[in-house]
Amino acid sequence: MDKIILIKYGELTTKKNNRNLFINLLYENIKNKLKKYNVKIVKNRVRMFIETDDNIDEIVNILSNIFGIHSIVVAYKVDNNIDSIKTNVLDIVKNISFKTFKVETKRSDKRFPIPSMEFNNVIGGLILKNIPNVSVDVHNPEYELKIEIREDYAYIYTKEIKGAGGYPVGVAGKGLLMLSGGIDSPVAGYLAMKRGIKIECIYFESPPHTSIQAKNKVKKLVEKLSKYNSNIVLNVINFTEIQEAIYKYCPKEYMITIMRRMMYRISEQVARKRKALVIINGESVGQVASQTLNSMNVINNVTNYPVIRPVACLDKLEIIDISKKIDTYETSILPYEDCCTIFLPKHPVINPILERAINYENNFDYETLINTAVNNVETIVIDKENKKFDI
Ligand code: ATP
Ligand code: MG
């Protein structure tokens, strides 16, 4: 009996007009993630089918992180006539241990002579007759045998695994993720990808105040995120001169406000250059002084570019839960300094005033510094399959 992986599409089935675009992109994303395996992928409007001689569990594991998939089913592909289905069902259930069961047939090929409900009874009866000590429970069965009768073959499901949901990465266009080494921004990136946004990242470093370990930690985070989105581009911006100028020319309590205004200005320029349509970051309302609504208002004032903050309204514990689930948490908590933390004033302003921020930052020629930083961006492509970083 041939095993086959069936992929059921996620939310995309509701988007009638874009359906082909969704399916084609999902197909490309899957093909890309499985390129080192020997697989045959066939797609139609309702399902995708993957056949392989390689390790099915490994492939299912990779598929379970690909957005746009509602569920993954490992099924046996058998001839779609009554006798073949019967024989194969017995072969399959023989090896499974259960006390109660239910059969659910879906007959999409109406030429098949027995209606679904009736066929449930036929197969249910067959199992009761051949397998000792089992009974039918239609409400809460221990084992659910699903049979899908299609025009080419019949598929007998063994197990159904929940997919990652969301939309295929890339379908929504590109976004630029402001990625620090912290807990929040990788989670923000994950959530953005889940909605179909292909991400690129931007990281601000301030050598020698920030170390190579801090940068490698960010690379490691990008590598972890590339599980969901292959080949992520990381734009590294040297922020040292700007940060030193802020330190020199602006009052301590406004440093963070002004620093973040500079980050937004640079992010907008890089986003335009890289053709990203939105900026994404890990800000969460009220978490720190720069994330009060007042601060966000003054900081965001430098740009008209759309900014998405996927974790804005989540509690820290909720963010941590996701970061553990996506395996970024352990990397995020490594104790390397961030450029935000090294110049951190004791009492950053909680309710900054826009006019003051503008006056202070006009104490130095930030536009030239910003242009230099943007022109000297270091662009790194990080592909999970190819690289490992020492941290
Ligand atoms: P995180 O846990 O993501 O570091 P945080 O709670 O430490 O967030 P901040 O340091 O105020 O909060 O940063 C808020 C957001 O600004 C981050 O989530 C990230 O999107 C962006 N950001 C902060 N520092 C950097 C940096 N060095 N490079 C790129 N983006 C940054
Ligand atoms: Mg941070």
In what side-by-side order are the strands of the sheet with 278-280?
307-308, 278-280, 173-178, 197-205, 232-238, 378-382
- Closest ligand 1 atom, residue 290 Cα: 11
Q: Give the span between the Cα atoms of 346 and 37, in whole angstroms.
A: 54
In angstroms, the first-to-last Cα distance of the chain is 47
Q: Report residue 53 as tokens.
A: 């001689």
Ligand nearest to the CA of 187: 1
Q: Considering every ligand atom, which ligand is closest to the CA of 292? A: 1
Q: How far is the CA of 194 from the centre of ligand 1 (A)?
A: 20
CA of 337 to the centre of ligand 1 (A): 12
Ligand 1 is surrounded, with C-beta below 6 A, by 178-180, 182-185, 202-204, 281-283, 287-288, 290, 338-340
Give the residue, by CA position, lying nearest to ligand 1 atom 24.
180
Residues with Cβ within 8 Å of 35's Cβ and at least 6 positions away in sequence, in order, are none
Identify the residue whose C-alpha is closest to ligand 1 atom 12.
Answer: 283
185 CA to centre of ligand 2 in angstroms: 8
- Name the closest-CA residue to atom 25, ligand 1: 180
What domains can you pick out in the chain, each with its CATH number?
2-162 (3.30.2130.30), 173-382 (3.40.50.620)
> 181 C-alpha vs ligand 1 centroid, how far in Å?
7
Q: Looking at residue 31, what is its pLDDT?
A: 94
Q: Count the helices and strands in the chain (H runs, E runs).
A: 14, 14
Residues sharing a CB contact under 8 Å with residue 181, sequence separation 6 or more, in sequence order: 214, 217, 218, 221, 332, 334, 336, 338
**φ and ψ at residue 372, rounded to 5 degrees:** -60, -45
Angle at 191 between CA 188 and CA 194, to 5 degrees: 150
pLDDT for position 14 = 57
Classify 337 as helix, strand or coil.
coil
Averaged over successive runs of 10 residues, the pLDDT of the chain (391 residues) comes to 86 68 92 92 92 91 94 93 95 91 92 93 96 94 93 88 93 96 96 96 94 94 90 95 95 94 98 98 88 94 98 97 97 82 79 96 97 97 61 40
Q: Could you give the CA distance from residue 140 to residue 99 in angstroms, rounded to a whole number? A: 11
Residue pointed to by tokens 């509690």: 315
In angstroms, what is the span from residue 5 Cα to ligand 1's centroid? Answer: 40
Please report the pLDDT score of residue 204 as a whole number.
97
Show the tokens assigned to 349: 């302003």
